């Protein structure tokens, strides 16, 4: 029999104030997370504008596309990291989904870099 306590333990949600969760470090942790989120999305925008200007109407290489998608996914990963950092979400199932998303985002970024390196090497 599945009880409410079991469901709460597997995929629970709770609230911890981000400005008090780690004591004096909380503001720094939250600010660094926000800066990395902004950084990934700004880098993705600049990359998109760069390859649109470089390639114009022609088709950009596959490596650029994978690298751009990898940057966007890593930005989303940083957004998803905040609830796990402050333990707003806990449990095995959400953590497994978070780790799978992290592996996919990093794998996409690395595959894009691999394709770009493969195209550049002589």
pLDDT tens digit sequence for 10-49? 566 666 777 787 777 788 888 888 999 999 999 889 988 8
- Residue indicated by tokens 């902004």: 38
pLDDT, the chain, mean: 82
**Cα–Cα distance measured from residue 78 to residue 22, given in angstroms and rounded to the nearest whole number:** 18
Q: What are 54-74's pLDDT values in tens digits? A: 777 777 778 888 988 999 999
pLDDT at res. 1: 46
- Residue indicated by tokens 């409410």: 4
pLDDT at res. 13: 63
For the whole model, what pTM was predicted? 0.75
pLDDT at res. 122: 54
């Amino acid at each position: 029999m599945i009880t409410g306590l079991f469901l709460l333990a597997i995929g629970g949600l709770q609230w911890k104030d981000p400005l008090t969760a780690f004591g004096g470090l909380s503001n720094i942790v939250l600010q660094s997370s926000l800066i990395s989120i902004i950084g990934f999305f700004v880098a993705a925008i600049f990359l998109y504008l760069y390859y649109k200007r470089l390639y114009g109407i022609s088709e950009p290489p596959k490596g650029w596309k994978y690298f751009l998608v990898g940057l966007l996914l890593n930005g989303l990963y940083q957004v998803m990291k905040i609830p796990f950092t402050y333990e707003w979400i806990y449990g095995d199932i959400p953590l497994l989904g978070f780790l799978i998303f992290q592996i996919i985002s990093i794998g996409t970024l690395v595959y894009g870099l691999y394709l770009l390196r493969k195209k550049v090497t002589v």
